[in-house]
Amino acid sequence: MATALDRHIALIGFMGAGKTTLGMQLADRIGRPFFDLDQEIEATSRRSIADFFRREGEGAFRVVEAERTLATLRFDRPAILALGGGAIETPAIREALREHALTVLVDVDVDLAWERVEGSERPLAHDPEQFRQLYERRRGLYEEAADVRTQTVDDVVLAALGIRIEAGLRPEGGALIADPAALELHPLKLDETHTVREKTLDEAARLWTELTISRDGTIVGYGGGTTTDLAGFVAATYLRGVPWTAVPTTLVGQVDAAIGGKTAVDLREGKNLAGAFHYPEAVLIDPGLLSTLPEEERGAGMAEVVKTGLLAGRELWELPEEQMIRACAAYKAEVCLADPFERDRRAILNLGHTFAHALEAASLYTVRHGDAVALGLLAALRLSGLPTDAVETVLDPRPVPVNREDAWAALQRDKKVREGRVRLVLLEEPGRPVWGIERPEAEVRAALDALIA
């Protein structure tokens, strides 16, 4: 199934399914234009669809509907489209959906659909028996055309980036790049296997020489954030780019690191300084893989959960585990769809990370990423003038023993520094992040110093 990174998201389904409502919510969350095709036809023809049916008949309407729908599907800028209930019966529209869109079936029970539209002006909703017959006639076409079925915005957002969350999910083939500990605990056998322990240029170079797949092969990253970052970077550069799939086995990976197409290796001078945007074709999340996760690794993942909750303005860390993972993954997917290559809003995902990366680099990466993020969130909340209770209660961060000058030097090399000025992600309040914020150097340095033992 193709993702919707550079494709339309087309909502199909029977009348009364709620396509317009869902489409408007989705467009608002991921910042895409929204087109309700029935409303577009009414606007251009300057009459209601019911009047169109009365005056010219259904056949004439279907011709206009096809012309308008096909023109919109061929619109270059990815958008959200809500198609009319009968559009799916036109073969040219079904073909254009396959070519240009991720097609989402917004399913509805026929009795509920009738309850919603009974008494309306819809031209094909006057007789309950004919209504049910029409539903049955179209149902197979909906199911055939759909890439995914859903009734929630979160499910559409996840599907739009190829993210599946389900027990037992595994890839079926490819070149496996795996963390050896994950491989031992949860064996997985693919066409070829390579194990890695760190994300460095030396490891990437080794993999470039060892891989035997061709350009139509797939790389599978199986492990935590270190492994999926490296696997994605190798996939982005091997043979000038091959597809890849992420199978995260840690909480950090499942809620954050494996989502969004950022791939990289670390340099001594800083974290993730060599990398590329290369989105995985699929992210397969099996919460069951977390059953063997050491407690310290779970804590590292909770730092990203708390970060996401602060950005979303919801206490996501209070949810049951699978719901928590789904909510965090959906939030990150939403932000990435709105800003795939971090030119604007996506910068909010770096909340706390400017400080965290500085601490990691100053420790030569002996400080665990989650511990550094927890400290970074403390600094961000303090500079935002907000309470730190959630971070302290859930994560209990402790200052780390690193060289202060090394940490400050690393912070000044951060990718978000412009013209020597550190630019931060802060919060006006939970759920209202702001980015590109400058604070006096003395305040930033004091916030960093407070994180160091």
Tens-binned pLDDT, residue by residue, of the chain (453 aa): 678 999 999 999 999 999 999 999 999 999 999 999 999 999 988 888 889 888 888 899 999 999 999 999 988 789 999 999 999 999 999 999 999 999 999 999 999 999 998 888 888 888 899 999 999 999 999 999 999 998 799 999 999 999 999 999 999 889 999 999 999 999 999 999 999 989 999 999 999 999 999 999 999 999 999 999 999 999 999 999 999 999 999 999 999 999 999 999 988 776 788 999 999 999 999 999 999 999 988 988 999 999 999 999 999 999 999 999 999 999 999 999 999 998 999 999 999 999 998 999 899 889 988 899 999 999 999 999 999 999 999 999 999 999 999 999 989 887 666 666 788 999 999 999 999 999 999 999 999 999 999
Close Cβ partners of 127 (under 8 Å, ≥ 6 residues apart): none
Category of 274 on φ-ψ map: left (φ > 0), alpha (ψ -120 to 50) or beta: beta
Contacts within 8 Å (CB) and 24+ apart, 290-297: 290/249, 290/250, 290/251, 290/254, 290/321, 292/185, 292/186, 293/249, 293/250, 293/251, 296/368, 297/224, 297/250, 297/251, 297/252, 297/370
Q: Which of 369, 382, 416, 423 is catalytic?
A: 369
Close Cβ partners of 63 (under 8 Å, ≥ 6 residues apart): none
The alpha carbon of 191 is separated from its chain's Cα centroid by a whole number of angstroms, namely 28
Right CATH number for 345-449 from 3.40.630.190, 3.40.50.300, 1.20.1090.10, 3.40.640.10?
Answer: 1.20.1090.10
Is 346 annotated as catalytic?
Answer: yes
Q: Which of 353, 368, 416, 423 is catalytic?
A: 353
Is 262 annotated as catalytic?
Answer: yes
Domain made up of 175-293: CATH architecture: 3-Layer(aba) Sandwich (3.40)
Alpha helices in 313-352 (DSSP H): 321-338
The ranges of the chain annotated as CATH 1.20.1090.10 are 345-449
Q: Which of 29, 100, 199, 262 is catalytic?
A: 262
Is 304 annotated as catalytic?
Answer: yes
Q: Which of 138, 199, 332, 416 is catalytic?
A: 332
Is 240 annotated as catalytic?
Answer: yes
Q: Which of 46, 77, 189, 240 is catalytic?
A: 240
Structure-token match 């935590």, residue found? 224
Question: Under CATH, domain 8-152 is a member of which superfamily?
Answer: P-loop containing nucleotide triphosphate hydrolases (3.40.50.300)
Q: Which of 304, 334, 382, 423 is catalytic?
A: 304
C-alpha–C-alpha distance, residues 356 and 268, integer Å: 15
**pTM for this one?**
0.91
Q: What integer pLDDT is reported at residue 271 of this predicted model? A: 72
The ranges of the chain annotated as CATH 3.40.50.1970 are 175-293
C-alpha–C-alpha distance, residues 240 and 218, integer Å: 13
The one-letter amino acid code at 392 reads E
**Is residue 360 within 8 Å of 369, Cβ to Cβ?**
yes
Q: Which residues of 275-298 are buried (b: 16+ CB within 10 A; e: fewer)?
A: beebbbbbbbbbbebbeebeeebb
The ranges of the chain annotated as CATH 3.40.50.300 are 8-152
Is 144 annotated as catalytic?
Answer: no
Q: What integer pLDDT is reported at residue 418 of this predicted model? A: 64
The one-letter amino acid code at 319 reads L
Q: What integer pLDDT is reported at residue 151 of this predicted model? A: 78
Q: What integer pLDDT is reported at residue 181 of this predicted model? A: 95
Is 353 annotated as catalytic?
Answer: yes
